[in-house]
Amino acid sequence: MSFLQDPSFFTMGMWSIGAGALGAAALALFLANTDMFLPKSRRATLEYLEDIDLKTLEKEPRTFKAKELWEKNGAVIMAVRRPGCFLCREEAADLSSLKPKLDELGVPLYAVVKEQIRTEVKDFQPYFKGEIFLDEKKKFYGPQKRKMVFMGFVRLGVWYNFFRAWNGGFSGNLEGEGFILGGVFVVGPGKQ
């Protein structure tokens, strides 16, 4: 009798394939939920940030250097991943809850977006209580942009944040570029 005719050969082979697939899935889940293999991003220094060109969102946009945002009083600046993202809207609402205290301290609250698609920024404004500016070249997102592509869908923290924001009543859409991650800068006046 050859090994191909032995039924235990197929049972053991299937068991080995199943265990291997389960092990590979567990390893992939583990690696997706650690930052072990994510590229280390370079920090955006003040020298880097201050020379970035930003635009106002008025009918007659004005271009200015980013350092104007914090030069006199400092600033809290949200680099928005995507205005339609419901996680970004939740973060904007959380930051906006600090606005009365920031106003009391004389520190402005700003947001920077990387694109202006249809009514996205206008739809974002109810969640964000500060002024919003446009960075068309996406430089405010760092000298080395942090990206989260499909790996984000298997990260447990991302799913936790999705459910938290969804249960908090936040909604959004999938309009625009969403792979480049945002962040928050707290900058003191001058060179702080």
Residues involved in catalysis: 85, 88
Alpha-carbon gap, residue 164 to 168, rounded angstroms:
6
Burial of 66 (0-12, 13-18, 19+ CB in 10 A): buried
Beta bridge partners of 180: 147
Alpha-carbon gap, residue 81 to 113, rounded angstroms:
7
Alpha-carbon gap, residue 142 to 137, rounded angstroms:
11
CA nearest 49: which of 131, 100, 110?
Answer: 110
> DSSP state, 147?
B
Alpha-carbon gap, residue 3 to 9, rounded angstroms:
7
Burial of 150 (0-12, 13-18, 19+ CB in 10 A): exposed
